[in-house]
Amino acid sequence: MSYLGPEFEPVPQRRSRRGPFTVALAALVPAVLAGWLVYEVVGDSGGSGPSAQAAGASGHSAAPSSPRAKGGAEGAGSPSASGRTDGKDPDSLRGKVVVIDPGHNQGNFKHPTEINRRVDIGTNSKECDTTGTATNAGYPEARFTLDVSRRLRTLLEERGATVKLTHDGDRPWGPCVTERAEIGNKAHADAALSIHADGSAVGNRGFHVILPDAVHSGTADTRAIAGPSRDLGVDIKDGFARATGTAPSNYIGGGTGLDVRKDLGGLNLSTVPKVFIECGNMRDSKDAALLTSAAWRQKAAEGMSEGIVSFLRG
């Protein structure tokens, strides 16, 4: 559709005889119209009024490009709905339940009667709990495990997981190993991790992850969870090694960083995928230097988190 302009009126036709003036006028009108259109299109193409609209419609002025045109398909290379582009989507673990078990309790040594009570772990009976170990300088395992557990909880909650600790420094002793397993079972945890540090001989260094054996004895039956627990353990081992830069144990597991046991009540009585991790040897000065470092403990928590995330994402 041609645009005639807001003030242009076509010349009405007459029935009168065409004289020289009429012929001249007839020749003049097309020239005036052509000149006006040239002015509107060329001389005023940068305006925002009707002239600019006409130019845009006729292809003389490029329209602004859209985000889709610049980036190809909409959403390509753009952040997720949460705004994260680093893979740590705060909704990535939503609906998942993780139970973290900080090994031992700093108050256990004040309650020898309670923690020495024997409990049934399926394959045999053991103490309700123990005091745990400590570095030569007196830094207790129970303090270490609670600190790392809290750090790990924060990381997993940032990804949307529901996280439950078997204790949070809020009880004078325990819980017993039977209760620790029961907490994970009742929570229907998708993954459970018990955090520890070892107390071995000087020169024994490194970490290892303890997996449940396929136990079927008394109240213990880990046959259904032994496979998934191994998968969880391998993922945690890999994540922990990457994040901390530490090597697998040089005294347990033959360098694999994995150990299978059937004498731990926290594993025997679990009905959900669960493993233990011994983060290092508190009795070796080099390992102790790592375990007592807040920066290293944060890396340890990050490695455990990455392992759990990998397992839960399948």
Of 141, 278, 302, 306, which one is the catalytic site residue?
Answer: 278
Determine the pLDDT at residue 92: 86
In the chain, the DSSP E strands lie at 97-102, 118-120, 125-127, 162-165, 191-198, 208-212, 216-217, 220-221, 258-261, 274-281
User: Which amino acid, 216?
Assistant: H
What pLDDT shows up at residue 174? 98
Residue 57 φ/ψ, nearest 5 degrees:
-65, -30
Residue 14, amino acid: R
Report all structural domains of the chain as residue ranges with CATH numbers, in order of start: 20-71 (no CATH), 97-313 (3.40.630.40)
Q: What is the DSSP string of 232-298?
A: HHHHHHHHHHHHH-PPBPSSSSTTSSEEEES--HHHHT-SS-EEEEEEEETTSHHHHHHHT-HHHHH
How far from 265 is each of 116, 250, 261, 268, CA to CA, in Å? 14, 25, 10, 5
β-strands 258-261, 208-212 pairing: parallel
Contacts of 305 (CB under 8 A, 6+ apart): 152, 155, 156, 159, 239
Q: What is the pLDDT of residues 17-72, one digit of tens each?
A: 444 444 444 455 455 444 544 444 444 333 333 333 333 333 333 333 333 333 33
Please report the pLDDT score of residue 296 as a whole number: 98
32-70 in b/e form (b: 16+ CB < 10 A) is eeeeebeebbeeeeeeeeebbebbeeeeeeeeeeeeeee
Q: Is 209 helix (H, G, I), strand (E, B) or coil?
A: strand
> What pLDDT, on the 0 to 100 scale, is given for residue 30?
52
Residue 278 annotated as catalytic: yes
Smallest CA-to-CA distance from 173 within 116, 92, 220, 126 is with 116
The region that residue 160 occupies, defined by phi over 0 for left and psi between -120 and 50 for alpha, beta otherwise, is: left
Task: Tell whether omega for the bond before 20 is within 30 degrees of 0, i.e. cis.
Answer: no
The predicted pLDDT at position 90 comes to: 76
- pLDDT at site 36: 46
Residues of the chain with pLDDT under 50: 1-26, 29, 32-34, 36-86
Can you tell me the distance from the alpha carbon of 36 to that of 67, in angstroms, rounded to the nearest whole number? Answer: 37
How much is the pTM? 0.73
Interval 139-152: pLDDT, tens: 999 999 999 999 99
